[in-house]
Amino acid sequence: MPSLRVDVIDIDDPTDARVDDFRDLNSVDRRPDLPALPGGRIGKGLVIAEGVLVAQRMIASRFSPHAFLGVDKRLAELADDLADPSVQGVPFYRASAEVMAEVVGFHLNRGVLGAARRPDALAVTEVVASARTIAVLEGVNDHENIGSIFRNAAGLGVDAVLFGAGCADPLYRRCVRVSMGHALLVPFARFDDWPRGLSVLRDNCFRTISLTPGEGSMPLSDTVDAAKVAFLVGAEGPGLSETVMRASDVRARIPMSRGTDSLNVATAAAIAFYERARAGTT
C-alpha cells in the first residue's frame, strides 16, 4: 500500500467543528455547496464530492480537495489516490457511518466525501480556445439534467460545456454526483453577456447548431461535419429562445415518431454528441 499523504484524523464527536464543511448537506439554507452569498447568509461556496469514484475525479481535477470525511473502508479504497502529492497534508476525517450520518444529516451510503473551495471560474474564451466540440446550454435549470450532460459530454468526446442564461449551478452536489464527477473535469464557463457572447464561437470558427424539433430544421446527421461544432440546447418544454436559434448557423432535429414529445434534454444532447463522434470515425 502506498503511503498516504493525507493526515488521518479520527472524529468521534459529530458536533466537532472541524467537519463543519460537511454539515447539513441537505439543509435548504445551510448546505455548504451553495455559492457563498454576501453576508454569509447561505452557502459556503464549496464543491462536495460523494463516493470513491467522484472523490478520485476531484483529486484529479482543478478542484483540489481541502478535506475529506469518510469511513475507514473508503479510506482504504482511496489509498492510491490519497498518495498523490496534491493531497499532501489534507485532513482525512475518519468517522463511523453513524457519526458521518449525524454530521451530514442523513445516512450517506457512499461512505466518503471530499470538499473543495471553488477556484476562479474559467473564462469562455479560455474554454473555447482548444475545443473542437462544445455543448452550450440555455435555460437548463435541472441539476440532474446538467449532471447527465457532463457525464455524456465526457463519455462521447465533447470538450467543454458553456452556460447561457437561466441555467442551474453545475457545482451543486447532486449535479456533481449525477455527472459521475465529470462536472469537475470537463471545462465549463458562463457567458456574461447572453446571447451576444455567442459571437466568440463565430470568432473561433465554430459551426453553431441549435437542437430543435421545430420548423426549418435539418436532420442532425447532415449538420455535424465541420471542424468545430457547438451544439446549442434548451430546457425541455420551452426549448431554445428564438433569439438564440436565429443567432446560430443551423437548426438540427433528431427525427421523432409522430405523436411523441421531444426527448429529455440530456438524452437529446447525448444523441447529438454521438452523431458528432460518429462523423469523426467514419
The residues binding its own copies (CB under 8 A) are: 53, 148, 151-152, 154-157, 180, 182, 219, 221, 254-257, 260-264, 266-267, 270-271, 274-275, 277-278, 281-282
Minimal distance in Å, beta carbon 269 to its own copies?
10
Compute the least distance from the CB of residue 142 to its own copies, in Å. 13
Is 99 or 156 the residue whose CB approaches its own copies more closely? Answer: 156
- Looking at beta carbons only, is 14 or 155 nearer to its own copies? 155
- Please, what is the minimum distance in Å from the beta carbon of residue 260 to its own copies? 4
Run of H or E including 152: helix 143-155
Distance of CA 147 to the CA centre of its chain: 5
| CB contact at 8 A, 116 and 64 | yes
Query: At how many degrees (to 10) do helices 265-281 and 143-155 cross?
Result: 10
Nearer to its own copies, 115 or 266 (CB): 266
Q: What is the largest CA-CA distance in the chain?
A: 63
Q: How far is the CB of 20 from its own copies (least distance, A)?
A: 32
Contact 60, 49 (CB under 8 A): no
The nearer residue to its own copies, 119 or 280, going by C-beta atoms, is 280
Query: Closest Cα partner for 180 from 73, 281, 49, 76?
Result: 49
Determine the Cα–Cα distance for residues 162 and 246; give it in Å rounded to an integer. 18
